[in-house]
């Protein structure tokens, strides 16, 4: 099942079906319980009414029975023999005795003998019979049971109540009176039938509504899918998916998709520019080197060996820069070596013996500024910043290493012209050189600062440019402290 609409409709229908079935069973149970309680009450009232008459020594033939068809009555003695049944009762079950033909027994209203009085007195002394006193009806809760009775040829289900009564002669009789369950059964069947009829219709409505609502909700998703398919087929990253006016998850999905397309378009465009600029930068030294080799082949005496070596070195440096940028773009993670930033700066400055302007290093004595990462890449960052300062400084270059919050700040300052404020972010783009008049040999390829910022970012740091106190540019490299073991 690949359709979200179908899965949503089926899921909602199943949930509603389970809930309705559970609720329906609960309703039927409560309804049946209430109706049975009503039948119990009717049966108990009928039984106590007859028992009251028997306790007053009313003869069986003179018993006043209300609606004998709705409340059939059976009376049994202490031995379980049937001594009386209501008129028209032809069969009965559920009362403990299936007899409907009265048998001879002690007459109601007979005067007790002295021996009977003594026996009753003995029973009373025992205190455990639980039976009613002479001429009384038991006050205990009656026993209830389900059964059937056939009255005037009609069989039906009844709820029977059993109530004990003792005559003045000390005869204990049990009266079984029934209340019909036809109303209860009819009500339960009616409710059950209504539920069985309405449940499928309600589930069909739920499924249909869920299908329509889900279809309407997912309509923008289909639009997004079609547009994404069109973008994939045309490779036109300038297109955007439609954004619905709603503020729900689908609208946020559309906005996020468009933001992703924007970033992807910028990345692809940046990659295209990078390839074009790299090709342009490589073309010059390769063309120059080829020209010199061709001249040398034809006229060996005209070979400019220093120029050929310079072009080769420049080509090698450019290739190394491009390779490093490619590795950074691929997400290569730096190493985890622990590096002392002050020592790294001193070592790099001490090896730059051919610089045009001497570099002053400012590091607090005895201070330790440990960072973690790739030593080679961090050396490359410091070297690129010093190369940039050498190209723009007039008389002075200063490198300061100091603590800065939870990290280390390495600041390279010069006394040159500085960087205009509106260009301070642009200089970190690849192949960007602000001084177009500067010769390509002196100005570099415009990759040094871009590499430096990418390396700083890969190490969890930042690289920004500000105005130096000397008037020139101040490049601030911030790196977090190495994590303690």
Task: Tell me the sheet residues that pair with 91.
Answer: 150
Domain ranges of the chain: 4-187, 249-329, 337-480
Q: Select, from the ranges 54-68, 131-145, 390-404, the one with the highest average predicted confidence (pLDDT).
A: 390-404
Predicted confidence band of residue 122 (pLDDT cuts 50, 70, 90): very low
Task: Tell me the sheet residues that pair with 156.
Answer: 149
Q: Give one DSSP letter per residue of 175-199, joined into a string.
A: EEEEEE-HHHHHHHHHHHHHHHHHH
Per-residue burial over 58-73, b if 16 or more Cβ lie within 10 Å, else e, is: bebeebebeebeebbb
What is the token pair recorded at 374?
């790739």
The two beta strands, 337-340 and 473-480, are: unpaired
Asked if pLDDT for residue 235 goes beyond 60, the answer is: yes
Cα gap 471→42, rounded to integer Å:
108
Instruction: Say what angle helices 249-298 and 182-234 make with each other, to 10 degrees.
Output: 20
Provide mean pLDDT across the span 440-469: 83
Cα gap 178→69, rounded to integer Å:
10
Provide mean pLDDT across the span 62-83: 84
Higher pLDDT, 480 or 271: 480
Q: Give one DSSP letter per residue of 323-366, joined into a string.
A: HHHHHHHTTPPP--EEEEHHHHHHHHHHT-TT-SS-EEEEE-TT
Fold of domain 249-329: Helix Hairpins (1.10.287)
Beta strands in 368-472 (DSSP E): 370-373, 397-404, 407-414, 462-467
Predicted confidence band of residue 174 (pLDDT cuts 50, 70, 90): very high
pLDDT at res. 331: 76
Predicted confidence band of residue 434 (pLDDT cuts 50, 70, 90): low
Lowest mean pLDDT among 106-120, 174-188, 221-235, 291-305: 106-120
Lowest mean pLDDT among 89-103, 185-199, 237-251, 302-316: 302-316
Q: Does residue 370 contact residue 363 with C-beta atoms inside 8 Å?
A: no
- Mean per-residue pLDDT over the chain, rounded: 83
Q: Does residue 328 contact residue 380 with C-beta atoms inside 8 Å?
A: no
Percentage of the chain modeled with pLDDT above 70: 90
Provide mean pLDDT across the span 380-406: 91
Predicted confidence band of residue 112 (pLDDT cuts 50, 70, 90): very low
pLDDT digits over 322-372, tens only?
888 888 777 777 878 899 999 999 999 999 888 889 999 999 887 889 999
pLDDT at res. 131: 59
pLDDT at res. 26: 93
Q: Select, from the ranges 102-116, 234-248, 425-439, the one with the highest average predicted confidence (pLDDT).
A: 234-248
pLDDT at res. 144: 92
Closest CA to 188 of 40, 27, 17, 41: 27
Q: Does residue 361 contact residue 346 with C-beta atoms inside 8 Å?
A: yes
Question: Which residues are CB-contacts of 368 (< 8 A; sequence separation ≥ 6)?
Answer: 340, 342
Q: Select, from the ranges 32-46, 58-72, 209-223, 232-246, the one with the highest average predicted confidence (pLDDT).
A: 32-46
Lowest mean pLDDT among 100-114, 119-133, 297-311: 119-133
Provide mean pLDDT across the span 308-314: 79
Cα gap 272→479, rounded to integer Å:
31
Asked if pLDDT for residue 445 goes beyond 80, the answer is: no
pLDDT at res. 106: 52
| N-term to C-term CA, the chain | 53
Backbone angles phi, psi at 434, to 5 degrees: -70, -35
Predicted confidence band of residue 111 (pLDDT cuts 50, 70, 90): very low
pLDDT at res. 443: 54
Q: Does residue 482 contact residue 378 with C-beta atoms inside 8 Å?
A: no
> 339: left (phi > 0), else alpha (psi -120 to 50), else beta?
beta
Asked if pLDDT for residue 114 goes beyond 50, the answer is: no
Fold of domain 337-480: Heat Shock Protein 90 (3.30.565)
Lowest mean pLDDT among 39-53, 125-139, 248-262, 285-299: 125-139
Whether 249-329 and 337-480 share one fold: the answer is no
Provide mean pLDDT across the span 112-126: 44
pTM: 0.51
Cα gap 328→450, rounded to integer Å:
11
Predicted confidence band of residue 123 (pLDDT cuts 50, 70, 90): very low
């Amino acid at each position: 099942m690949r359709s979200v609409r179908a899965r949503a409709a089926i899921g909602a229908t199943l949930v509603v079906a389970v809930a309705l079935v559970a609720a329906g069973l609960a309703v039927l149970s409560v309804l049946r319980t209430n109706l049975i309680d009503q039948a119990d009450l009717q049966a108990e009232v009928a039984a106590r009414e007859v028992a009251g008459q028997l306790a007053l020594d009313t003869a069986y033939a003179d018993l006043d029975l209300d609606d004998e068809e709705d409340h059939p009555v059976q009376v049994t003695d202490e031995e379980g023999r049937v001594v009386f049944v209501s008129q028209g009762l032809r069969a009965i079950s559920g009362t403990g005795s299936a007899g409907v033909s009265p048998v001879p027994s002690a007459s109601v209203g007979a005067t007790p003998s002295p021996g009977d009085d003594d026996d009753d007195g003995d029973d009373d002394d025992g205190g455990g019979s639980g039976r009613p006193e002479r001429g009384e009806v038991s006050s205990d809760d009656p026993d209830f049971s389900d059964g059937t009775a056939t009255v005037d040829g009609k069989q039906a289900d009844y709820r029977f109540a059993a109530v004990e009564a003792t005559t003045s002669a000390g005869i204990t009789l049990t009266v079984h009176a029934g209340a019909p369950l036809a109303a209860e059964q009819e009500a339960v069947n009616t409710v059950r039938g209504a539920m069985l009829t309405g449940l499928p219709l309600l589930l069909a409505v739920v499924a249909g509504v869920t299908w329509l609502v889900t279809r309407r909700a997912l309509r923008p998703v289909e639009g997004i899918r079609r547009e994404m398919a069109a973008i994939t087929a045309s490779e036109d990253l300038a297109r955007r998916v439609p954004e619905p006016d709603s503020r729900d998850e689908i609208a946020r999905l559309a906005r996020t998709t468009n933001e992703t397309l924007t970033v992807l378009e910028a990345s692809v465009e940046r990659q295209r520019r990078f390839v074009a600029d790299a090709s342009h930068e490589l073309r010059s030294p390769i063309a120059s080197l080829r020209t010199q080799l061709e001249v040398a082949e034809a006229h060996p005496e005209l070979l400019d060996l220093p120029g050929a070596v310079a072009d080769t070195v420049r080509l090698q440096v450019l290739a190394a820069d491009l390779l490093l940028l490619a590795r950074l773009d691929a997400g290569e993670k730096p190493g985890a070596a622990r590096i002392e930033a002050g020592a790294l700066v001193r070592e790099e400055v001490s090896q730059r013996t051919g610089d045009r302007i001497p570099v002053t290093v400012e590091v607090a004595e005895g201070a330790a500024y440990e960072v973690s990462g790739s030593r080679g890449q961090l050396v490359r960052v410091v070297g690129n910043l010093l190369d940039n300062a050498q190209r723009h400084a007039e008389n002075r270059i200063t490198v300061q290493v100091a603590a800065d919050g939870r990290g280390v700040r390495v600041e390279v300052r010069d006394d040159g012209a500085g960087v205009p404020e509106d260009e301070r972010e642009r200089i970190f783009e690849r192949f960007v050189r602000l001084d177009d008049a500067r010769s390509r040999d002196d100005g570099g390829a415009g990759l040094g600062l871009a590499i430096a910022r990418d390396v700083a970012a890969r190490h969890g740091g930042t690289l920004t440019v500000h105005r130096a106190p000397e008037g020139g540019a101040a490049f601030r490299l911030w790196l977090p402290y190495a994590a303690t073991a």
